[in-house]
Amino acid sequence: MKSAVFIDRDGVLNRMVFDETHGILDSPRRRGQVEAVPGAGAFLREIRAAGNFVVVVTNQPGIAKGTLKIASLNSVNKELARQLAVDGGQWDELRFCPHHPGPCPGGNPIFVKTCACRKPASGLLLDAARDFDIDLATSWMIGDGLVDVAAGRRAGCRTILLTALKWSMAERFLDCAGGEPDFVCRNLAEALKLIRDGETPARQRES
């Protein structure tokens, strides 16, 4: 069995974009909106060179809401892959959840439902582990949200939360029930060092 690094897409590998309609930061919906996070390509290159299988796992509820077409999602993923490849980075597999539990007025009813793959559920990770013979206990889940951490913990992975906040500050603002990370890193460079050092799951706290 192989070890893997599961990694969230939006906010981790690519920058979020401002949605003027709803006044929030959201996933890019068009090829021209894609901007890879600096260092993301190098991170993927080095993590794969260390022998890890890389799986991108991302929630894309815009498909259920009717604000994103699968063809547009494929175009965004293709452009992100192109940008990451400039620094030698690539993923081995990408899995996405198109669902949303609703209500989604005007959305696509095929995808409006409760599912087992929408993070914080662990379905995306479990399915990939089955398909690619991945040892979840020696694998990692990296994300910038507690839903990513929760999905990783439920799958049995070691987890890394990416945040610029010190953990003692993040705990004050975030409901961490079920989503307490094993480690907190400010960026992918710190996450790379942590994984290379072979850290074991132990709660990291910063004062």
pLDDT tens-digit readout, 132-160: 999 999 999 999 999 999 999 999 999 99
Task: Find all residues with CB under 8 Å of 177, minimum gap 6, and list them.
Answer: none
Q: Which of 8, 26, 148, 182 is catalytic?
A: 8
**Which residue is catalytic, options 10, 144, 148, 182?**
10
Domain boundaries, the chain: 4-196
Report the alpha-carbon distance of residue 141 to residue 148 in Å, rounded: 7
> Which pLDDT score, from 0 to 100, does residue 102 have?
95
Task: Please confirm, yes or no, whether 92 is among the known catalytic residues.
Answer: no
4-18, 50-64, 107-121, 192-206: least confident range: 192-206
Please give the model's pTM, rounded to 2 decimal places: 0.92
SS (H, E, C) the chain: CECEEEECCECCCECCEEECCCCEEECCCCHHHCCECCCHHHHHHHHHHCCCEEEEEEECCHHHHCCCCHHHHHHHHHHHHHHHHCCCCCCCEEEEECCECCCCCCCCCCCECCCCCCCCCCHHHHHHHHHHCECHHHCEEEECCHHHHHHHHHHCCEEEEECCCCHHHHHHHCCCCCCCCCEEECCHHHHHHHHHCCCCCCCCCCC
Q: What is the pLDDT of residues 7-63, one digit of tens each?
A: 999 999 999 998 876 678 889 999 999 999 999 999 999 999 999 999 999 999 999
Domain range 4-196, CATH class: alpha beta
Asked whether the beta carbons of 157 and 177 are under 8 A apart, the reply is no
